[in-house]
Amino acid sequence: MVGESANNNSKSDYLLIGKTALVTGGSRGIGAAISKTLASRGANVVVNYAKNESAANNVVSEINSLKENNEFTGNAVAIQANVTDSDEVEQMINKSKDHFGNIDILVNNAMVGRYFLKPFLDLKWDDFSEKFYDEMKAAYEVTRVILPAMIKNHYG
């Protein structure tokens, strides 16, 4: 097709070049896939993790490997933070800004809390409400810190 490069990617595939994404829970599962996809589209990615540094570093390594084959792939860094703790969130955002500047994209994906999947009929309200509270608190804490810069930049 006209406008496509030799590797079959169009210019529109790299619209995230120069943008920075923070993916909470970015080291495993859906978060890892999102981190790699954003980087493959040109975004720099902050891979947040709570405990599993090895998994986060593996995602960063995979992104760096993508860069070897595609110069438009973004950079990545792994940063540890408990996203339900406002002080740790502030530190994570500061470290992210030190690496890449402002955060343009936020993916609240972290799975926090003590909840383990159970069959619905075995689930007690307290289990559900605790998980709901933890997930909402995490999204709130991260969004609260990032949103002012997004508003200022009219982007995010």
pLDDT per residue rounded down to tens, the chain (156 residues): 333 344 556 666 778 999 999 999 999 999 999 999 999 999 999 999 999 999 999 999 999 999 888 889 999 999 999 999 999 999 999 999 999 999 999 999 998 866 667 788 888 898 888 888 989 999 999 999 999 999 999 988
The alpha carbons of the chain give a radius of gyration, in whole angstroms, of 17
Domains and their CATH numbers in the chain: 15-153 (3.40.50.720)
Predicted model pTM: 0.88
Tens of pLDDT along 96-121?
A: 999 999 999 999 999 886 666 778 88
Spatial contact of 5 and 125, defined as CB atoms under 8 Å apart? no
